Every structure is written in structure tokens, then in C-alpha cells.
Amino acid sequence: MFSQLRVSAIEAMSLADDVLKQVGRIKKDVAIAVCGPEGELIAFVRMDGASPAASRIARNKAYTAAVDRKDTRLMGEFMSGQNRPQAYWGDEQITGFGGGVTIRQEGTVIGGIGVSGLSEEDDEAIACAAIKSVFGK
């Protein structure tokens, strides 16, 4: 029988809750998505003031981090280095916008989190801080 480490629903909700607390302190609105290692959505929140575009981008960031097993900022650097349009990758959900971060346990990717609504750098920093808060890494 095959078993796979994965982010749990409770952990996914804790990640989203941590992001909500962080952005609440700076009074900003974002969208937050957490996916399992196969890219399936586990948790999602769009704050009242976050744009509808932020919703899709957050989901795509979490998906990309999970299925490509790398942070979306790194994926963006790789994609731009190839000078190829996004459609080249054959998956419309793949994104190179920073703010999607892999969630790892024992060196294995167990999911991805995507935050969208701030600068790419701030989205990524908030996602990383949430992972550290929930998983202690």
C-alpha cells in the first residue's frame, strides 16, 4: 500500500489562520490557498477586500509550489530564463509569481501555500512565516 505524507486539513486551516493574523496587523487583504502535494485545494480564504484576481493567483501559487516541488519565485526565474511564454508549460495553473511556497516535512513536499494581494516579496515572506509558525521550520 502506498502512503504519502501530506498537509492535513487542520494544518491547512492553521496556515490560513496565521496568514490572516499577519495581514490583520498590517491592515491588508489577501487571498490564501493551501494545496496537498498533488495540487488539490485543501483550504482557501479570500478576505473581503482582496481582489477576485488574487483568488486565482493564490490558488495557482499553491498548486505550482506543490506539484512542481519548488517555490513559485524560483519557478518564475526558471521560466524567464527560458524566455518562453507560460503556455509552454502545458498547464494553465503554473505560475511564476512569487508568493507560492512549498511545505516540506522530513525533506518531502507535503503541500504548497499561496498568498496573493501584496507584493510578491511580501506574499512570500508571509507564506514562509506561516509555515514556520505552524510547522516550526
Q: Can you give the pTM of this predicted structure?
A: 0.91
Assigned domain for 40 exists: yes
pLDDT in tens, 23-67: 999 999 999 999 999 999 999 999 999 999 999 999 999 999 999
Q: What is the CATH number of the domain that holds 20?
A: 3.30.450.150
On whether residue 25 sits in a domain, the answer given is yes
Q: Does the residue 45 lie in any domain?
A: yes
Q: 81-124 pLDDT, tens per residue?
A: 656 555 556 788 889 899 999 999 989 999 999 999 999 999 99
Residue 42 in any domain: the answer is yes
Number of folded domains that form the chain = 1
The answer as to whether 118 is a domain residue is yes
Three-state helix/strand/coil letters over 74-133: HHHHHHHHHCCCHHHHCCCCCCCCCCEEEEEECCEEEEEEEEECCCHHHHHHHHHHHHHH
Does 1 fall in a domain? no
Domain that holds residue 57: 9-135
